[in-house]
Amino acid sequence: MYHGKAGRKLGRTSSHREAMFRNMVTSIIKHESIRTTDTIAKELRKLADNMITLGKRGDLHARRQALAIVRDRQMVDKLFGELAGRFRDRAGGYTRIVKVGYRFGDNAPVSIIEYLPDEKTKEKVKSKRKAKENKEQ
């Protein structure tokens, strides 16, 4: 029976799956946006959101837990500094998955998974748009 088994297998061995997700979560911290298949993005979201939660905790144990997964000290510093500060007041839902179409080779559905932008940046963009619209009228 398959009771109590969480997560998708994705046609990989457990070691391959674990290594792939470590690489991908490091890339999403580095670039803040990556392109992958829908199912991988849905699985990656769990790990990416958990990394932000560790960053928000900010203590030594959380940093060591993050280093056990990310294994790149610069990315962990970015996680605990920039990204944790950006999501300090947010209770959850740090990532967004946007479906972008289908891959050319095998027609697999492709998505972009990204960390949400800073609220201050969004407000600046909105104010610039409003100013531009008012100027055009």
What digits encode the pLDDT tens for the residues 56-111? 999 999 999 999 999 999 999 999 999 999 999 999 999 999 999 999 999 999 99
Q: What stretches of the chain adopt beta strand conformation (E)?
A: 33-37, 95-102, 109-115
Runs of H (alpha helix) within 1-137: 14-31, 38-57, 60-70, 73-78, 84-86, 119-136
Confirm if 17 and 40 have CB atoms less than 8 A apart.
Answer: no
Cα(106)–Cα(3) distance, rounded to whole angstroms? 31
pLDDT tens per residue, range 46-57: 999 999 999 999
- CA 117 from centre of chain: 11
pLDDT band at 122 (very low <50, low <70, confident <90, very high): low
pLDDT band at 128 (very low <50, low <70, confident <90, very high): confident
Token pair listed for 118: 């800073």
Residue given tokens 């008012």 in the structure block: 134
Nearest alpha carbon to residue 84 among 110, 112, 68, 62: 62
pLDDT tens per residue, range 31-44: 999 999 999 999 99
**Domains identified in the chain and CATH numbers:** 14-136 (3.90.1030.10)
